[in-house]
């Protein structure tokens, strides 16, 4: 089965508009059978973008076992929350071993929240040195940055380094508090690949029953993003997400505003990932 694809910004790489996130059942230990079922379902659905992080429990190892025979046709990414060069280098070594690969398509600076984080990664012997050197050595193809805490911090991060991609929250609660959506537009206009996360707010948004999953996916994909990444707990969830991506049609602006208004009373609680 196939899914629509978009260019990941100036990387020139085409990725499916839906990626499998490293959370959900993948962010566990000891659930090998369930994790492999989700990974296999994502492959069969046509997903080619798979994401993990050093902080995501056994996620990298699950993916390493599930994707090995498919590596050449996939876009594989992970993240490091390290703030110093030595720690980031150690993270990368572990990540490559767990994923059973000799390179990442994308390695991302994970979860920048504060000015202190920015200062740390940009300092001499900071994490950015490890990221830059890893690309020079051919261990990573592209370098990205992620944040979901404060758009001002992530905006400053994009001035620190010439990142290829940015991963940020995209959902109808965003406009109501510390909105990341304007930054998505700014990054896209600069040629960065923009990856949307928190699309379902860890499953909280669908529970409100103000919109179906397909409408929430359509809202996110109607923003200036290359793709969205969403974790899953089961095969039915993967199939539902893949169907939403496969049948995606852009939401008219009026429909987007209606959805934002519908979630407004719950918005602050939905954005558990912000201060």
* Inter-residue contact 18 to 230 (CB < 8 Å): yes
Q: Is the pLDDT at 1 greater than 90, yes or no?
A: no
Q: CA-CA distance, 271 to 181, in Å (whole number)?
A: 14
Question: DSSP per residue over 135-157, as a string?
Answer: HHTTSEEEEEEE-SS-HHHHHHH
* Inter-residue contact 88 to 125 (CB < 8 Å): no
Q: CA-CA distance, 264 to 266, in Å (whole number)?
A: 5
Q: CA-CA distance, 3 to 15, in Å (whole number)?
A: 9
Tally of residues, the chain? 275
Mean pLDDT of 73-101: 98
Fold of 5-270: TIM Barrel (3.20.20)
For tokens 């079922």, name the residue: 37
137 CB contacts (<8 Å, ≥6 apart)? none
Q: CA-CA distance, 203 to 194, in Å (whole number)?
A: 22
* Inter-residue contact 60 to 28 (CB < 8 Å): no
* Inter-residue contact 234 to 38 (CB < 8 Å): yes
- Farthest-apart Cα atoms in the chain, separation: 49
Mean pLDDT of 150-168: 98
Structure tokens of 197? 């996360």
Q: Provide the strand spans (E) within the chain.
A: 5-7, 14-16, 18-24, 49-51, 75-80, 104-109, 140-146, 165-169, 193-197, 227-232
- Single out the residue of 47, 12, 10, 6 nearest to residue 26, CA to CA: 47
Residue 83 sits at the vertex; the CA angle it makes with 82 and 88, to the nearest 5 degrees, is 45
117 CB contacts (<8 Å, ≥6 apart)? 83, 153
- Single out the residue of 149, 130, 152, 145 nearest to residue 53, CA to CA: 145
Q: CA-CA distance, 70 to 48, in Å (whole number)?
A: 9
Mean pLDDT of 175-194: 98
In this structure, the strands spanning 193-197 and 14-16 are unpaired
* Inter-residue contact 17 to 221 (CB < 8 Å): yes
Mean pLDDT of 71-78: 97
Mean pLDDT of 98-104: 98
Q: Is the pLDDT at 39 greater than 90, yes or no?
A: yes
Give the pLDDT score at 271.
98
Residue 224 phi, psi dihedral angles, 5° rounding? -75, 70
Mean predicted lDDT score pLDDT of the chain = 98
- Single out the residue of 177, 175, 198 nearest to residue 185, CA to CA: 175
Domain ranges across the chain: 5-270
* Inter-residue contact 171 to 200 (CB < 8 Å): yes
Task: State pLDDT tens for residues 198-240.
Answer: 999 999 999 999 999 999 999 999 999 999 999 999 999 999 9
* Percent of the chain whose predicted confidence (pLDDT) is above 90: 99
């Amino acid at each position: 089965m196939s899914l629509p694809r978009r260019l990941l910004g100036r990387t020139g790489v085409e990725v499916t508009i839906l990626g499998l996130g490293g959370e959900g059942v993948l962010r566990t230990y000891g659930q090998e059978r369930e994790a492999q079922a989700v990974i296999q379902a994502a492959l069969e659905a046509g997903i080619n973008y798979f994401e993990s992080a050093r902080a995501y429990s056994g996620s990298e190892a699950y993916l390493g076992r599930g994707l090995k025979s498919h590596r050449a046709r996939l876009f594989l990414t992970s993240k490091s929350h390290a703030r110093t060069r030595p720690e980031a280098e150690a993270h990368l070594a572990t990540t490559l071993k767990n994923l059973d690969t000799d390179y990442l398509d994308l390695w991302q600076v994970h979860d920048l929240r504060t000015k202190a984080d920015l200062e740390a990664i940009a300092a001499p012997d900071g994490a950015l040195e490890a990221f830059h050197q890893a690309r020079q050595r051919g261990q990573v193809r592209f370098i990205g940055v992620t944040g979901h805490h404060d758009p001002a911090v992530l905006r400053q991060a994009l001035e620190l380094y010439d990142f290829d991609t940015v991963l940020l929250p995209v959902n109808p609660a965003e406009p109501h508090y510390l909105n990341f959506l304007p930054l998505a537009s700014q990054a896209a206009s600069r040629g960065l690949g923009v990856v949307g996360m928190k699309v379902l707010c860890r499953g909280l948004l669908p529970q409100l029953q103000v919109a179906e999953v397909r409408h929430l996916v359509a809202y996110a994909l109607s923003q200036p993003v290359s793709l969205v990444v969403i974790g899953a707990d089961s095969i039915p969830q993967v199939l539902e997400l893949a169907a939403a991506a496969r049948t995606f049609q852009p939401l008219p602006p009026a429909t987007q505003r209606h959805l934002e208004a519908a979630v407004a009373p719950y918005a602050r609680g939905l954005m558990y990932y912000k201060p």
